[in-house]
Amino acid sequence: MVADPHGGRLVDQVWSGARRQEGLRRAEKGLAVSLSAAALADVECLATGVFSPLRGFLTEEDYYRVCNRMRLADGTVWSIPITLPVSRDVREGMELGLRDAASGEIVALMEVKSLFAIDPVWEAERVFGTQDQKHPGVSQLFRASRWRAGGPVYLLRKPRRDNFAEYPAYPAETRTLFQQRGWRTVVGFQTRNPVHRAHEYIQKCALEIVDGLFLHPLIGPTKADDIPAEVRMRSYEAILEAYYPRDRVCLGIFPAAMRYAGPREAVFHALVRKNYGCTHFIVGRDHAGVGDYYGSYDAQDLVRSLPVEELGIQPLFFEHSFYCRRCQGMASLKTCPHTEADRLILSGTKVRTMLRSGVTPPPEFSRPEVIRVLLEPLQIKSEQSVGR
């Protein structure tokens, strides 16, 4: 059996039919706020069970418990504050329309149960461990309104993703899929980067002990210099087709925004994959980190500090892996006896820099099928520049 949802029940607050029409009427009638891309992603995840047991944006009591203790007011483990910035026009007790800023359409209805002001410096220190506004998560926090509305949300319009329509996006879909495949144990892998040799190595190590791998890339808002989701999805398909047993891998999409909260986001990512039905979750080196804000294994240390029975999902911890020239294959500090001079260690950041410079990463780091996909947009851009 796949894992139970966090909190015991999968949230479903997507309205359809006559209920949806009534919700749209009520949302259009009152005050409506425009949602950023990140807030829009949160609304979708809240209503479709991705963020179970949350039924909406955090109330003031839950917010302070999460920031201080990584728990909701009822004691359930939860590590990231999911809040909605609003203007001072919003009042407790009102119904609030939530509008997609890009399209102008009403997408959801919210019951405002709580209205409160936050201190961004205080939150930044507790959630991100820094108030440095060069950190992308801190920067977004400081740019947003300090006023927050909490309460349940009801999704009235799911976003259209024509480029990703073939991939499962919601927990109800993947839980059914895993059961149809007869998978009793499933390991989840979070990524916002292409799958390079190091990722492939730890994924296949995990596949030795479970029935299936859930490759689950985040496709919501990320940093401007991250590789676009459409390109990454093509690279995943390329490597899965060439190097993985397709009957043991499921490729889905994670519609959330990236927060770059390091250790706290690692806990969050594990809980979310539990909602999707995973029984195991890979926590790698510098999970959900950015720059030098977090230590290489801070995320693993935080996840280890939480009782597995409260997480409800088994974390799998991996050392930093690399290609060893003397071993002539992928290895880690646990398996390789050779020196640093024998090891080829590259990060996702270095690979992005190489690609932008027109340098092809070596095959010891990335499969050629992946590199071809990643280079294609750059080649097209170069040809367009020449054509001018």
Active site residues: 192-193
Cβ-proximal residues to 12 (8 Å cutoff; 6+ apart), any chain: 47, 48, 49, 172
End-to-end CA distance of the chain: 58
Q: Are 227 and 194 in contact (CB under 8 A)?
A: yes
State the pairing for strand pair 32-35/95-100.
Answer: parallel
CA distance 186 to 206: 9
Q: Look up residue 352 and give its DSSP letter.
A: H
Q: Are 173 and 181 in contact (CB under 8 A)?
A: no
Tracing tokens 């390789």 back to the chain, one arrives at: 336
CA distance 337 to 124: 40
**212: amino acid identity, one letter:** G
What are the E-state strand segments in 56-196?
Answer: 56-57, 84-85, 95-100, 106-111, 114-117, 147-155, 186-191
Task: Give whole-number Cα distances, 222 to 226, 278, 282, 332, in Å.
Answer: 7, 24, 21, 29
CA distance 46 to 43: 5
Q: Are 53 and 76 in contact (CB under 8 A)?
A: yes
Q: What are phi and psi of 70, to 5 degrees?
A: 60, 40
CA distance 207 to 113: 44
CA distance 173 to 185: 16
